[in-house]
Chain A
Amino acid sequence: MNLIENLKSKISNENKKIVFELSNYILDNKITTLEELTKKENELFTYNGKVLNTEERINYCLDIIKYSSDDYNLLTFEEIQIYKRLKNELQTSISIEQKILNLILIFSMTNRDILFLTETYNFILSNKI
């Protein structure tokens, strides 16, 4: 499995920013397998020596985007509407997968580093991003 070739085959006008960022992360860190990508993600989500579980990762990311006013300064009017919708959805009972997807999209819109590396990769390959 060639991670970069897979990502390149899924690039589109809509997802280019995320594909660009994830590809560069993979190349910068010389990651060649999905296992290595997962390992890197676990390192990103390690707090006080403990690797966070999925729910803890989601809450960690929600904390990062808790206050929106700075984020609004980065976005156009149309983007703010999308940002607000994504953020409001996170407060409802959507699935874990949808929460992670919304967080990935919000982080990308607001120029934050990708943290959910493996999920982003899988979402791109399954055309959800």
Chain B
Amino acid sequence: MSSLTFERNKQEALKNLIHDKRKSPVQGDFSVDGQELDTDTQLSLEYINLYNAFINDFGENFPALKYDKFRTFFLDLRDAIDAHIETGEYDTEVLKQIMVHLNLELGTDVNFSSTFEKMLKEDSFQPSYSELKDRFTFECLYSQYNNTTKTESQGYYESTGTDTIEKYNHPDSNTRGRRR
């Protein structure tokens, strides 16, 4: 069962989805100056949107423990996006689902609208921070959304005989991290 805030944000996002209230050309349709952004760029842009909202707005009202949890989550998500852009390590759709999840945690505009629609249709939302508390980590949420995505694919496999299950590639820790 999700928290009240998460549910309220979900209902608000659903209303926006229906009425298309997006204001900025940069947020929402992922094209800048008429140029269509590729998926990696969309992920980068949406991360900046979310992290900016957390650092400069919503996060300022979080209690210390919650702030720390979210900050760590954001830093791990950042590493994952870096690794994904470099080597394609993570599942793109799962990363999008996680960002939609964060949109609903913070109450910010959902820009991955097709991902959000799919999550609504499949009712695939994972527990919010209020329920997970200490287990609210990038690794945990990635695993949960990834397993849900695999289960959906498996359902497709069983009905069509087509192998659509995506492999979860564990990151190689020796190749990650910035050089100084």
The chain A residues found within 8 Å of chain B, CB to CB, are 4, 7-13, 16-17, 19-20, 23-24, 27-28, 30, 110-113
Contact = CB atoms under 8 A, between A and B. Distances in A.
A110 to B, nearest CB: 7
Interface of B: 26, 32, 35, 37-38, 40-41, 44-45, 47-49, 51-52, 55-56, 78, 81-82, 85, 178-180
A112 B177 CA distance: 10
B35 A8 contact: no
A17 B43 CA distance: 11
Contacts of B35: 12-13
Nearest to B85: A17
A12 B33 CA distance: 9
B48 A112 contact: no
Contacts of A20: 44, 47-48, 81-82
19 contacts: A8-B45, A10-B32, A11-B41, A11-B48, A12-B32, A12-B37, A13-B40, A13-B41, A16-B40, A16-B41, A16-B45, A17-B44, A17-B85, A24-B51, A27-B52, A27-B55, A111-B179, A112-B178, A113-B179
B44 A16 contact: yes
Contact of A113 (B38, B55, B82, B180): B180
Contacts of A10: 32
Contacts of B180: 112-113
Contacts of A30: 55-56
A28 B49 CA distance: 14
B169 to A, nearest CB: 19
A13 B37 contact: yes
B85 A16 contact: yes
Contacts of A27: 48, 51-52, 55-56
A9 B32 contact: yes
Contacts of A17: 44, 85
A28 B82 CA distance: 16
Instruction: Specify which of B45, B48, B51, B180 lies most central, judged by the most chain A CB atoms within 10 Å of its CB.
Output: B48
Contacts of A13: 35, 37-38, 40-41
B90 to A, nearest CB: 15
Given A8-B26, A112-B179, A24 B41 contact: no
A27 B75 CA distance: 12
A112 B81 CA distance: 17
Contacts of A12: 32, 35, 37, 41
